[in-house]
Amino acid sequence: MQRGTMTTDYDVIVGGSGIAGSTTATILADAGLDVLLVEAGAHPRFVIGEGLLPQSSMWMWIVGEYFDIPEIRYLSDANEVVNNITSSCGIKHSIAFSYHREGESFDGDDVHQLIPPQLPFYSESHFLRADIDHYLVETAEAYGVEYVEEMPIVDVDIDSDEVTVTTDDGTTTAAFYVDATGGNSVLAEERGYREDAPAFATDSRAIFAHVEGLEPFDDVIAEADRPGQSNRLHDGTLHHVFDGGWMWVIPFDNFERSDATKASVGLVLDRDAYPVDESVTPEEEFFGIVERFPGIAHHLEGVEPTMPWIRTGRLQRSASRSSGHRHFLTGSTYGFVDPLYSLGLVHTFESVFVSTNLLLDAFEAEDFSAERFERLDELHREQTETVDATVSNAYKALGDFAVWNAWAQFALAQMLFEDLYIQRHCFDYLESGECAVFDGLLTERRPGDEAPFAPDASAIFEITSVALDDYATGEVSAEAAAEVILGELRDAEWLPKHVYDWGNEDARHVDFSDPELVEAFITWGKTESPDHLREQLFDFQLPEME
């Protein structure tokens, strides 16, 4: 059944009611605009993109605070999710990668675990997206957005004075169109934005479902193989990784306040290493691959799907541009690379933050020219190019644990400092109460590109990329490639070795839930770090830790 009825002459029509579309609609309506939200399907519905990171949680908090919309801010904290949205979500208080070799038993020395710090203004979750997305639609309606569903958009016509959107139910007009319809964008196809063969180095596909009966990996491995930190592997997202692919394991039952019993599991596979086998069902192919790795197979023993297994084609998609006169595409409509490192929701909220500011400014100026939105093209290009470079490097590193171990240490350094850069803005806001502290993030090519450590990290990334390319083409051994990366990390003065022993091949885990470790890191940053970090990154007042 359709919900709502379209009229005519809105300020903004938003196509698509996923997280980006609903959040954008809510912000615009709260600013006084007349908004129509058009959905092809209906809620609640199955969606992936379930694991948060410290950065995605921070961005949800930032957007909620900046626009003074508490319903968005609730997303940033696991307890607020239960208090206000749903009791079906888990927590993500661990990020772990478990390396596996075909035909060999699991070895606990092949695990890396990061436990993020506990800060008073956010706490990462595992989102059951059916509940979260439905809540955001209801929030949009509560803020005055007119919502219609089961109404696919079949045409979008943009002329100099208005936008005309056509559905099976008729046509309606607006001053502006926001396309949050994802990979099925009619506008992107009509305007020739969609690229048939995305020029990404990453080339992967996926097989996934929700399941019941998943035991914590901590409980099915020997005690000696557990990392032994303050949180279990089950207390967050676990990535089983192997040459040519990886698996996400996202439990929704790992929070004491959750009443969920399900978990999300999915294989993501390099298409050259694992070409699709159409002779078997998605479920048969999934478990056929899992059975090659005894440790993963042991973890998934006894699980039962709660839905049909989904098998995709190539995941990667892109567009030649994401904005023009009287329209823009959201980040997920512009393109997608691969879910490794869970950057999708980070980029979604970066994009929402930038795009809604641009659009509100455009309404104030009564100017919807393409030039006003070029900043969004730049942002989306940088987001997808950065993810592609990072993920394609990770796939190369998966060929051997020595290389993967070195790459994982670099990835940890990059994640830690990128998180701190956004945290610094949050700390400054908590100290000053001024939302203007976030305005600088609006002008960076991508938030973090102007961070003081960015040139240091970029230099190591370039050297690491060359080493991984040489390893992937057989020009150097795994050991030689790993040593290049580890050597760069050992020599990096911007990395505090007393916090984590970067460059030591035996280094694995780090637990930032330990206040003493956080204090050691902050003290180093404020007293011993290089001048450019001390003066431009660690110049904040740390809020009281929980």
Instruction: Compute the average pLDDT of residues 164-192.
Output: 95
Each residue of 391-425: pLDDT tens digit? 999 999 999 999 999 999 999 999 999 999 999 99
Residue 545 has pLDDT above 60, yes or no: no
Region 274-290 average pLDDT: 98
- Residue 478 and residue 463: Cα distance in Å, rounded? 15
CB-based contact 178:165 (threshold 8 Å): no
Question: Any residues with CB less than 8 A from the CB of 384 and at least 6 apart, and which?
Answer: 200, 318, 334, 335, 336, 337
88 contacts 258 by C-beta, under 8 angstroms: yes
Among 529, 505, 411, residue whose Cα is nearest residue 460: 411
Q: How far is CA 519 from CA 62, 312, 544, in A?
A: 24, 45, 11
Phi, psi torsion values for 103, nearest 5 degrees: 80, 0
Confidence of residue 361 (pLDDT cuts 50, 70, 90): very high
Q: What's at 181, amino acid-wise?
A: T
- Rounded CA-CA distance 300/264 in Å is 12
- Confidence band of 544 (pLDDT split at 50, 70, 90): low
- Asked, as a colleague might, if the bond just before 216 is cis with ω within 30 of 0, I would say no
Q: What is the pLDDT of residue 5?
A: 65
Decide if pLDDT at 4 tops 70.
no
- Residue 222 has a pLDDT of 96
10-50+128-198+316-399 shares its CATH topology with 204-314 = no
Give the per-residue pLDDT at 195: 85
Task: Encode pLDDT of 440-460 as tens digits.
Answer: 999 999 999 999 999 999 999
- 331 vs 541: which has the higher pLDDT: 331
Task: Give tens-digit pLDDT for 127-142.
Answer: 999 999 999 999 999 9
Closest CA to 401 of 95, 100, 96: 100
Q: What is the pTM of this model?
A: 0.97
Helix (H) or strand (E) holding 154: strand 153-158
Give the count of alpha carbons within 13 A of 62, CB side only.
30
Q: Mind listing the pLDDT tens digit for each residue in 37-74?
A: 999 999 999 999 999 999 999 999 999 999 999 999 99
Instruction: Tell whether the model's pLDDT for residue 155 goes beyond 70.
Output: yes
Q: What is the pLDDT of residues 191-236, one digit of tens each?
A: 999 988 789 999 999 999 999 999 999 999 999 999 999 999 999 9
- Long-range contacts formed by 194-197: CB under 8 A, 24+ apart: 194/317, 194/319, 194/320, 195/317, 195/318, 195/319, 195/320
Residues 218 and 295: beta-carbon distance below 8 Å: no
Is pLDDT at 1 greater than 50 in this prediction? Answer: no
Residues 6 or more apart whose CB falls under 8 angstroms from that of 97 comprise 111, 112, 113, 238, 239, 241, 408
Q: Among all chains, which residue has been given the structure tokens 């921070």? A: 58
CA–CA distance, 417 with 421 (Å, rounded to integer): 6
CA–CA dist 354, 251 (Å, integer)? 32
What's the rounded Cα separation, in Å, for the pair 250 and 244?
A: 20
Which residue reads 């003493």 in tokens?
516
pLDDT digits (tens, 9 = 90+) for 507-525: 999 999 999 999 999 999 9
pLDDT digits (tens, 9 = 90+) for 67-76: 999 999 999 9
Length of the chain: 546
pLDDT in tens, 300-357: 999 999 999 999 999 999 999 999 999 999 999 999 999 999 999 999 999 999 999 9
Q: Which residues contact 426 (CB under 8 A, 6 or more apart)?
A: 58, 61, 62, 121
Residue 125 pLDDT > 60: yes
Q: Can you tell me the distance from the alpha carbon of 496 to that of 499, in angstroms, rounded to the nearest whole number? A: 6
Q: What CATH number is given for 204-314 in this structure? A: 3.30.9.100
Domain residue spans in the chain?
Answer: 10-50+128-198+316-399, 204-314, 410-535
Instruction: Extract the tokens encoding 261.
Output: 């019993």
Burial of residue 264, with CB atoms counted within 10 A of its CB: 0-12 exposed, 13-18 middle, 19 or more buried: buried
Distance, in Å, from the CA atom of 234 to the CA atom of 152, rounded to the nearest integer, reads 39
For the residues 14-19, what does the mean pLDDT come to?
Answer: 98
CATH code of the region 10-50+128-198+316-399? 3.50.50.60
Rounded CA gap, 387 and 131, in Å?
Answer: 27
